[in-house]
Amino acid sequence: MSSVSDKGLVVGFYENSEELTKEAQELNTKTNGHILKSIQLSDTKGKLGDTLVLYDITPEVPRLAVVGLGKKSDVPSGDYEKFENVRRVIGSGVKSLKAKGASEITIDSTLGDVRSISEGAHLSKFKFDFKTKKADATPEKNVNIALSDASLEASPEWSTGKVYADAQNFARMLMETPANLMTPSIFVSTVQDKFKDLVASGKVEIVVRDEAWVLEQKMGMFYGVAKGSDEPLKFLEIHYKGAADATKPPVVYVGKGVTFDSGGISIKPSAGMGLMRGDMGGAATTVSAIYGAASVGLPLNMIVLTPLCENMPSGKATKPGDVVYAMNGKSVEVDNTDAEGRLILGDALVYAHTFNPTTIVDVATLTGAIDVALGQHFAGAFAATDCLWKQIEQSGNTAGERMWRMPLAQEYRKQMDSKYADIVNAGGRSGGSCSAAMFLKEFVTVDRWAHLDIAGVMYSNEDGAYLKRGMTGKPVRTLIELAREISKQ
């Protein structure tokens, strides 16, 4: 049981007005207008996310975060603003109270829709580092989140938001962990531990493949990348059967799992190379997405495939100019060993077709070109059908993880022509993310396929309202939401 000093409450007020949310208004009445007076005396204007922390309001409320809600007359332009504004408000309030020592935080239930409140609160709790603590240091307390209307905590919306946030936080942890502590083998064991309850329940099956299986499947592109490292490769499969008909064709997500990318023989510059611990962001987000889908019980069959390896230079490594053979038999010239993600994904995409999928979506930190094009605020979506694009766009807007449709045009395929092989793995700087997508398309035959290039959104250089600086775990919530949309078909 917490002491009073652990407690905090998040409430809201509108910009340039004296209108408060329900809990704030009740406190203002109890304290003879103290809340409004404090706001007026401060420089807090009520713009979205502006936060003012007040103390010793009542014996039950030792800390109060009053968060700006913007102008009440400003109607959200769509689902993105509608839900994202709530997450930002909640994240701002929770983070400000955490910074002031609160560990039992209650949120005014009238601040927005319950699922967005839950997502914003639980995503803002995330903390992950390897800092050691002094022997006499006070142990850090876990932060517990509650709603002022306790009955809403039993709602599906609250629990769904919590699962979505937990799934994304799992991806953030996987991506933040240094590469020496997150090898392909450790990645697999970490996922197995996370999924143990789902596996025990019979909802999920996990299959781990090794090098012998990869060679048996003739995955020459994947093996060509992996063989340069002393760390053994892994090919991870996660199967979730949530549909009433267990034989119904599945949705397949394929995630790039390069647990560290040095560039191989085409080695990267040293500046910023440490961020390449997150080059398995595609694998991290897809395994987290199927965790979320299974945890909320989405009614669909779903498979996640993640080829896991390191891309390292050595005497065993693939060299520029080498030719490897894909699982579908195509010959591939490796012009640039730092264009390795498309190689391991290509073989995984071919394998994905063996499950007779209705839809395939691959997710990868694939190109620096997408970061140049879109920056850190939109992921690039290459969708083969308009219908699938609309589902991806809507899912991203609902989740607060925006997508921008990029062209899948045959002209970009010409950049991948090789003098010696069926295709080359690098097509030059011009339109780099587009030519990379066309490379992947060579290994896809289903109509409903999309490639999400998340290299730009992998890492945030600044603290946000509910996501701190670091690996973002995007687009986990979009992927779960997309699975939800597809399950309605």
Catalytic positions, written as ranges: 268, 342
Cβ pair 9, 54 in contact under 8 A: no
- Inter-residue contact 277 to 459 (CB < 8 Å): no
**DSSP symbols for 373-407:** HHTTS-EEEEESSHHHHHHHHHHHHHHT--EEE--
120: burial class by Cβ within 10 Å (0-12, 13-18, 19+)? buried
Residue 116: how many CB atoms within 10 A of its CB?
25
CA distance 382 to 437: 7
Class of residue 353 by CB neighbours under 10 A (exposed 0-12, middle 13-18, buried 19+): middle
Facing residues of 96 across strands?
A: none
Stretch (H or E) spanning 371: helix 368-374
Residue 47: how many other CB atoms lie within 10 Å: 12
Bond from prior residue into 475 cis (ω within 30 degrees of 0): yes
Query: Are the CB atoms for 400 and 460 separated by under 8 Å?
Result: no
Q: Which helix (H) or strand (E) holds 162?
A: helix 156-176
Sign of the alpha-carbon torsion through 132, 133, 135, 140: negative
Interacting residues of 44 by C-beta distance below 8 A, sequence separation 6+: 50, 51, 52, 66, 68
Strand-pair category, 470-471 with 423-424: unpaired
Token look-up 């839809």 returns: 359
